[in-house]
Amino acid sequence: MSKNALHRHVVLVGFMGAGKSRIGREAAERLGRPFVDLDAAIERRAGASIPELFATRGERGFRSLEEHAAAAALAASGPAVISLGGGAVTSARTRSLLASELVVCIEVDIDTAWSRAGRSRRPLARNEASFRALYRERAPLYRAVADAFAGDATGVILAAGGVHHEPGGLDQLGALVPGEGPVALVSDSTVMGLYGARAVEALGSRLASVHEVPVGEPAKTIEVVGRLWAELALDRSGTVVGLGGGCTTDVAGFVASTYLRGVPWVAVPTTLVGQVDAALGGKTGIDIPGGKNLVGAFHWPARVVIDETLLESLPAREARQGMAELVKTRLLAGTRLDARGAAAFKLALCLEDPHDRGRRRLLNLGHTFAHGLEAAADYRLPHGEAVALGLLAALRLSGRDTSQVEQELAPARVEVDPERAWQALLRDKKRSGGAINLVLLGPDGPVVEERPAAEVRGALEELIADPALNGAH
């Protein structure tokens, strides 16, 4: 099963004092999902507190109530974030029901747990020695049911999006690819030279084949896709692994979405663009002459392995490409996020709106302009540099200060044909009928607005280094 919470509950387990209720409430708010605190639900239904229920019914009677309440919460339609009590996993029935959900264990060390729970009215936190013994007893149960581990709401959201975020994650790839079937590794020659040997070793006997794609945007063509379809020899139990930058994961995911009508895939992004944007959220695609990503599919990866140590080999210009997506996310969030936080911000929107019909569209800030410029440049303009220019246009149309983009990204006008860029912008998927829909920054945050074509074209032409246009400014 895919290790993400798309259309599934996120269930938090963990020992007393781990902070499941606090973390779960924050994660639910950021994911746009209902939050269910099972202990609070039991108290409301029974009309008594947990200590009172232990006193009147005993632990056995309370566990029966808890088991029924867990079953009811897990059976509810519509994905939620559900926080279970520390002892809920002692029920075999509850553990079996958890197998169908995305379970995140909230980690806490025993000293911290005791410092928090020992001051509370919890019935099983009255004696420190028995509390520590119970911690040791339950630890294997938490590990057995957990799909992921986290210590904060950001970690829960990353886990919900199927992201395993850990230095050295590449070396655990064989264990992190879900299932037990064969694996086809897709990468480009540069990345294979840097990390291919480690990936091959980590995949071990599961590795069935290795496939090379061109570096960058030339990988995203129907010719490359056709060759990969012909080369793959996986059955339905197989998994495609895309190791590389955003272009590699885009084409690997698209091939996986269409081969045998869809097989699982795993993204291992090796660039900052990939780790904060391209490999996240299930959008896959290729380019055609008329525009960027005009052919594609929504095919959520079974897992994304983010290993930040893979960024150490990035050339300076490539690192700047990722900074453009990071700055974009900071503008949307209204706060200074790090790469981990930016990934979680995107995943929360994507889980709420997996098919890009609502709030997920906000992630397109600057991208309508960027895609037009990229197509006009025959994709020789790096994506991050195009996004930096697109952010300038979006901020100008929003009436916002552009200094953050100018200082952090230093975008420079590009030499492309203005008419060709305009026609590519008009074909972009963010256009609706005769209107041009743009993501802009309003007084209360990002919004989707329609703007007149003349105004949008003027903002586009300000980004282009055309001598005639430059003389007009």
CATH 3.40.50.300, the chain: domain bounds: 10-160
Q: What is the pLDDT of residues 240-295, one digit of tens each?
A: 999 999 999 999 999 999 999 999 999 999 999 999 999 999 999 999 887 788 89
Pick from 297, 397, 404: which is nearest to 356 by CA? Answer: 297
Pick from 75, 263, 118, 261: which is nearest to 253 by CA? Answer: 263
Q: Is the pLDDT of residue 193 over 90?
A: yes
Pick from 354, 355, 239: which is nearest to 2 by CA? Answer: 239
pLDDT of residue 321: 86
CATH 1.20.1090.10, the chain: domain bounds: 329-470
Class of domain 168-314: alpha beta
CATH 3.40.50.1970, the chain: domain bounds: 168-314
Name residues whose C-beta falls within 8 Å of residue 208's C-beta, 6 or more positions apart in sequence.
182, 183, 184, 233, 234, 238
pLDDT of residue 467: 54
The owner of tokens 């552009």 is 402
pLDDT of residue 435: 75
Q: What is the pLDDT of residues 40-52, one digit of tens each?
A: 999 999 999 999 9
Q: What is the pLDDT of residues 78-106, one digit of tens each?
A: 899 999 999 999 999 999 999 999 999 99
pLDDT of residue 288: 87
pTM, rounded to two decimals: 0.92
Q: 10-160: which CATH topology?
A: Rossmann fold (3.40.50)
* CA angle 289–293–296, rounded 5-degree value: 115
Name residues whose C-beta falls within 8 Å of residue 251's C-beta, 6 or more positions apart in sequence.
186, 213, 219, 220, 224, 225, 228, 242, 284, 286
Q: Name the average pLDDT for the chain.
A: 94
Superfamily of domain 329-470: Dehydroquinate synthase-like - alpha domain (1.20.1090.10)
